[in-house]
Amino acid sequence: MDYNEIKSLLGTEADNLLNHKCTGITKDMIHAPGPDYIDRVFEHTDRNNLVLNNFGRLFNQTGRLAGTGFLSILPVDQGIEHSASASFAINPSYFDPENIIKLGIDGGCNAVVSTLGVIGSISRRYARKIPLIVKINHNELLATPNISDQTLWANVDQAWDMGAVGIGATVYFGSQNCRRQIQEISEAFKYAHELGLVCILWTYLRNPKEFIKDGKDYHTANDLQSQANYLGVTIEADIIKQKLSTTSRGFLDLNFGRTDKLVYDKLATDHPI
């Protein structure tokens, strides 16, 4: 897809989106992706050579974005998180774990993330062909009444034994159980790094009683999400997965936590980029 096709798809929003330049936090202040990303950024961290090798596989082994410094990772844990029937009934072929991996390969992805059961059932055949990542904790919907809590379903050794390049985990920041989740995943990430595995964190906000006010949902507020991301890298997540921000001013409107008005007046704007 070329530039003109992208402009056509964006329609009247094209100029606003494609020509926007951030002035609060400028491009030279961030570590932008690029072919040299591992050497430029991660080489200077405490990650050992085994982690850097797996980073190299993740960024460069396969997929349409290989070698660019950008990643396209297919995450499929919906069979647990949203139930298998709700996720796969529309296309029953994905009840077969092998088809999830084939989708990642055919779609030109750099890697596939899935559950212990999915990765374990196909790892011997596919671990050499596309980088695999094991999601080690989940929320499930069979509990009655439904709860929102991430529970460990797998351990780091299982991921390493099956040849995965990394592990993934979720922390529900803002939830009543987030302190326990932070401790569990911090310990898991430390051990995973010792074994040479890349660590990916789903930094999701979750507290319907506190983060929804007057009908407005602040779970995707960019200021709250940014703080969750900051907490995520504090436990040495190598890659952060977040939900796309849709609003701002979460700290101010909820009268919650601590922030500074400079964030809203100078550093950030209402622009989606």
- Told to judge if 135 belongs to the known catalytic residues of this protein, a careful annotator would answer no
Integer Cα distance of 188 and 205 in angstroms: 20
pLDDT at position 114 over 90 = yes
Q: What's the pTM value of the predicted model, to 2 decimals? A: 0.94
For residue 268, the model assigns a pLDDT of 83
Q: Which of these is catalytic: 102, 241, 261, 266?
A: 241
CA pair distance 137, 150, nearest whole angstrom: 6
What share of residues in the chain are helix, strand, coil (percent, to 5)? 45, 15, 40
User: Where residue 262 falls among pLDDT bands split at 50, 70, 90?
Assistant: very high
Work out the pLDDT band at 33, boundaries 50, 70, 90: very high
Q: Which of 180, 177, 198 has the alpha carbon at shortest distance from 189?
A: 198
Query: Are residues 243 and 220 in contact, defined by beta-carbon separation less than 8 angstroms?
Result: yes
- pLDDT over 80 at 270, yes or no: no
> Which range has highest mean pLDDT (9-13, 42-46, 157-161)?
157-161
Question: Across all residues in the chain, what is the average pLDDT?
Answer: 95
CA distances from 183 to 59, 170, 199, 235 (A): 28, 12, 15, 9
What is the set of domains in the chain, with CATH numbers?
A: 31-267 (3.20.20.70)
Q: Is the pLDDT reported for residue 227 higher than 80?
A: yes
Specify the pLDDT at position 271: 80
Q: 31 near 38, Cβ under 8 Å?
A: no
* Res 273: pLDDT: 76
Instruction: Determine contact, residues 170/204, Cβ cutoff 8 Å.
Output: yes
